Chain A
Amino acid sequence: MRKTLQLLITSALLFAGVSHAQLVVEITKGQSDAVPIAVVPYGVEGQPAPTLDVADVIAADLKRSGRFAPLEKRDMIDRPTSGDQIRFQDWKYLKSDFITVGKVSADGPDRYSVQFELFNVLNGQRLLGQKIPSAAKDLRATAHRVADLIFQQLTGIPGAFSTRVAFLNVEGAAPNQRYKLIVADADGENQQVIANSGEPLMSPAWSPDGQSLAYVSFESKNAAIYVQTLRTGERRRVSARAGVNGAPAWSPDGRALALTLSRKDGDVDVYTLDLNSQVLTRMTFDPGIDTEPSFSADGKKIYFTSDRSGGPQIYEVDVNDPRNPRRVSFDGNYNARPRVSPDGKQLAVVHQDGGNFRIAVIDLASRAMQVLTQGRQDESPSYAPNGATIIYATQDRGRGVLATSSIDGRVQQRLAASAGDVREPVWAPYAK
């Protein structure tokens, strides 16, 4: 029917606007030893005053991490805006271990600078102090950056509050479902609809530079893989072969996709596709189902799901020696959809645990597995770029919601859409 186009560019989906499905974030399990911190409302200097309360965004970020317990504003007896105004005795009395103060100054009609400091309340030591210029429209992003810096200073882990998450929102009852691919800030704000279809959309995957998403769309009534650049809306159809076109995963250098094809013979296998030359290279040769590829951090290996031994298990293969795969998972009879941690040392997988599907992590050195979640139908794990948190899809009273878990399982939160199901979250890499 329709000719397969190697390059299909459309900008129709570009300014698709804001989704109706607001995400509501709820912490379901926090650390009992969360660190008390005072995020004092930042002062405002000059006109016009910013419309955003920067300190509110910072406090919300720190609270959502589960590792910090920001002091309630009503309990603050003083509102210092710079270090020399802080009476540390007062904050010690309020049992805050750390305090951040600052001010937002208007530098022009839509230019601000955010000046902030972080102190250790117990010894009065100044831990951080910076001035960050910001366009008015970027104030929220700047607030996330301040939260990232504070988080890193106090935990040793880079913050991931400035990052974004892509996910699918599905509304309506079958067969009249509406599928939307949405990109939002990690706190659920700033939602943008990237693609919108009455046919299924699935398997979004961020390019390593965070500029593009690959995803599967059934809009032509068959599966096809598209790569869409977020800023311009330019979209290329990169694979629309007979049968399955699925599970796109980017190589770390962004030049290739690993993907799953069934081609004419119906054998479901993993291939790599060079995005420039369009050359396909077969990576698996087993007659079983081989799918869900994920590149190792150095790009030399591909982890994938295969049912060659019966049920699905995780295997690895050297990209340069695809004829010699090795089995990686051995716990239980169902392990699928491996995702490599940013440091390359762990895999997050979907693991069947006594009839329930849960997210587990496999330590690649010891092959030890740890089950992180407690749901019935948990799936689609994705690491935050700092490796500290995994976001995944789960069900809450029959509805698809998103959830996060710290990789030690101590901090968990849930993100539900105001309308419809949300699923297949993928955490974006740090912006480059």
Chain B
Amino acid sequence: MRAMSVVLVLLSTALLAGCPKTTTTKPEGAGAGGTSGAGTSGYQGNGAGSGQQLTAEQLALKEVQQAGSVIYFDYDKAEIRPEYTSVIAAHAKYLNGNANRKARLEGHTDERGSREYNIGLGERRAQAVRRALMLQGVPEAQLATVSYGEERPAVDGHDEAAYSKNRRVEIAYGQ
């Protein structure tokens, strides 16, 4: 849960931070509401004749928020389970419609096993998400990966309930 809200906050601040540079194509305050119905009330056209584009972006953003930004994995695995197809699709759509947005794919593992091997495993998970997004047309330049291995658990704890929440890739929109 924490992971999710962090991602959403990042997403929101990213959109805000991006505004000054792209005033002709970006809405003011889109997504600033985080999870609370972002993008409908705060909408305010700021450029000339780009209304359709903005709506599309906001719709894509809403889909991203509904789909979530965390993909969970099985133990020692990096295959994306079928239930996350919609998450990938929502982010792909958002990225394809917003060439100036960059996604940071943060791979994580549970605490079991050795730490640097887990860095490798987290990277493999992040790369799996990267490939899935690229298969849906997202340009490589919009994607970066980082692996935290087991260093940044979403949930404290030493049982499978915690582990299953920690084996994940978070899709974040930063800087």
Q: Is the CB of A266 within 8 A of B2?
A: no
Tally A-B pairs: CB < 8 A. Answer: 106
Q: How far is the CA of A398 from the CA of B158 in the complex (A)?
A: 7
Q: Does B79 contact A (CB under 8 A)?
A: no
B57 interface residue, CB < 8 Å from A?
no
Q: Which of A263-318 contact B (CB under 8 A)?
A: 266, 268, 289-292, 305, 307, 311-312
B interface, over-half SS: mixed
Min CB gap A255→B, angstroms: 22
A311 contacts B76, C-beta separation under 8 Å: yes
On whether the beta carbons of B115 and A266 are closer than 8 Å, the reply is no
The segment out of A99-107, A109-117, A217-225 that lies at the interface is A217-225
The reply to whether B152 and A337 contact each other, CB–CB distance below 8 Å, is: no
B147 contacts partner chain A, Cβ-Cβ < 8 Å? yes
Is A380 within 8 A of B146, CB to CB? no
B121 within 8 A of A: yes
Query: Is B36 interfacial (CB 8 A cutoff)?
Result: no
Nearest Cβ distance between residue A426 and chain B, in whole angstroms?
12
Chain A: minimal CB distance from B108 (Å): 11
Contacts of B117 in A (CB 8 A): 289, 291-292, 305, 307, 312, 336-337
Partner of B114, one of A242, A311, A337, A395: A337
Say whether A242 contacts B113, CB under 8 Å.
Answer: no
Chain B nearest CB from A269 CB (Å) reads 10
Contact: A289 with B124, CB < 8 Å? Answer: yes
Residue of B nearest to A395 (CB): B158
Which of A174, A223, A312, A424 sits near B115, CB closer than 8 Å? A424
Known contacts: A174-B153, A336-B114. The answer to whether A200 contacts B120 by CB under 8 A is no
Contact B148 A337 (CB under 8 A): no
**B154 interface residue (CB < 8 Å to A):** yes
* Contact of A260 with B158 in the complex, beta carbons under 8 Å: no
Instruction: Say yes or no for B175: interface residue by CB 8 A criterion.
Output: yes
B152 and A175 contacting across the interface, CB-CB below 8 Å = yes
Q: Given A175-B2, A244-B123, A266-B123 in contact, is the A292-B114 Cβ separation under 8 Å?
A: yes
A173 touches B76 (CB 8 A): no
Q: Is B151 an interface residue (CB 8 A)?
A: yes
- Measured between C-beta atoms, what is the minimum distance from B145 to chain A in Å? 6
Whether a CB of chain B sits under 8 angstroms from the CB of A322 is: no
CB of A380 within 8 A of CB of B124, answer: no
Chain A residues near B152 (CB, 8 Å)?
174-175, 200
- Expressed in whole angstroms, the minimum distance between the Cβ of B62 and any Cβ of chain A is 26
> Are A260 and B113 within 8 A (Cβ)?
no
Output the nearest chain B residue to A268 by Cβ-Cβ distance: B120
Complex CA–CA separation, A398 to B162 (angstroms): 13
A260 engages B2 (CB within 8 Å): no
- B121: chain A residues at CB < 8 Å are 289
User: Is A246 part of the binding interface, using a Cβ–Cβ cutoff of 8 Å?
Assistant: yes
11 contacts between A and B (CB under 8 A): A173-B156, A175-B6, A243-B123, A243-B147, A244-B119, A247-B119, A268-B120, A291-B120, A352-B113, A357-B112, A398-B158
Which chain B residues have a beta carbon within 8 Å of chain A's beta carbons? 2, 6, 76, 111-117, 119-121, 123-124, 126-127, 130, 144-149, 151-154, 156, 158, 174-175
The 9 closest A-B pairs by CB, nearest first: A289-B120, A266-B127, A200-B151, A337-B114, A336-B114, A247-B116, A268-B120, A350-B114, A291-B120
Given contacts A222-B146, A307-B120, A357-B113, list 13 more A-B pairs with CB under 8 A.
A175-B6, A218-B151, A242-B144, A243-B145, A244-B119, A247-B119, A260-B119, A262-B120, A262-B127, A266-B123, A312-B114, A337-B117, A350-B113
